Every structure is written in structure tokens, then in C-alpha cells.
Amino acid sequence: MNIDSIINGIVIDHITAGKAMQIYNQLNLDALNCQIAIIKNASSSKNGTKDIIKIADEIDIDLGALAVICPTATVNVIRDGNVTEKRDLKLPERIENVMRCKNPRCITTTEQEIKHIFVLTDAKTAEYRCIYCDTKASN
């Protein structure tokens, strides 16, 4: 398969295989008016397979949400066909509306307008907990 390189834009690489669509939806990439290529199950020397997202426009990406969904991802900014910047992913201390609380008794399950907010409780294990009920998040 042959996917053209982009001249200006962003490449999200090293996405865990199968997570590209979750990232696409979370970052609202469907609202963009530019070319977007989603490559699923591409060959990877490190992990066997990976996903890649190429965006033919330089946009602001929620790096915190991306880090929560796939901490192994890398973000490369492309200008004039060359990688000019690599953006580092760091787990945010607080994240909103990326995960949903799985506790059926949490207020977020009955109150529709409440934001799903989680705080980082253990950076080593990437553990987040709901601020309302303290339930451990599962992503």
C-alpha cells in the first residue's frame, strides 16, 4: 500500500494498533476540512503493528487527551515536507470528557450535563480516578 507523504501538517505515529479511530473521534478530526489518512495495522519493527494518522493541516491537538488514550503515540509537525517539530506527550494532571466513569452509582451516570473529570493519581501506572466518586478509570 502506498500513502503519499504530506507537505504541511501533523503525523500522529506509533499509535497502538486499533486505537486510531478512538483518537480520531476524541480529537473531533471529522470536523476538519482537510485530508486525513488513517492507516491501521501498519507494520512496526517494535510492536509488530501500529496505527498512524496523517492530517494535511497544522492544527492544535489536545496532547493531554492523546496521552491518556495512547501514551506511546508520537506527534510530528511537518513543514515543507520535513519534520520540523516533535511534540512530547505528557499525562495531564486533570482530564475532562476523555473517559467515562464506570461506577453506576456515580453522579455522572444520572446527571447528563456533568463533565466526566478525572485526576491523575499515579503517573507510573497512568492511573486516573473520578473526582466525584474516586473510582479508578479504565481507558
10-58 pLDDT, tens digit each = 999 999 999 999 999 999 999 999 999 999 998 888 878 999 999 999 8
49 and 110 inside one domain: no
Domain interval for residue 39: 9-87
Query: Coil, strand, or helix at residue 36?
Result: strand
Q: What is the pLDDT of residues 68-112, one digit of tens each?
A: 999 989 999 999 999 999 988 999 999 999 999 999 999 998 898
Residue 64 has pLDDT above 80, yes or no: yes
pLDDT at 116: 95
Same-domain pairing of 75 and 20: yes
Beta strands in 17-108 (DSSP E): 36-44, 48-55, 74-79, 82-87, 94-96
Query: 122 and 98, same structural domain?
Result: yes
Q: Does residue 72 share a domain with residue 19? A: yes
- Whole-structure pTM value: 0.85
Q: Are residues 24 and 76 in the same domain?
A: yes
Predicted confidence at residue 45, as pLDDT, reads 83
The Cα–Cα gap between 89 and 3 comes to: 25
Same domain, 78 and 103: no
Tell whether 136 is covered by a domain: no
Asked if 76 and 103 sit in the same domain, the reply is: no
Overall number of domains in the chain: 2
pLDDT score of 117: 96
User: Are residues 79 and 113 part of one domain?
Assistant: no
Phi, psi of 136 (to 5 degrees): -70, 135
Verify that 76 and 15 share a domain, yes or no: yes
What are the backbone dihedrals phi and psi of residue 68, each rounded to the nearest 5 degrees, phi first?
-70, -45
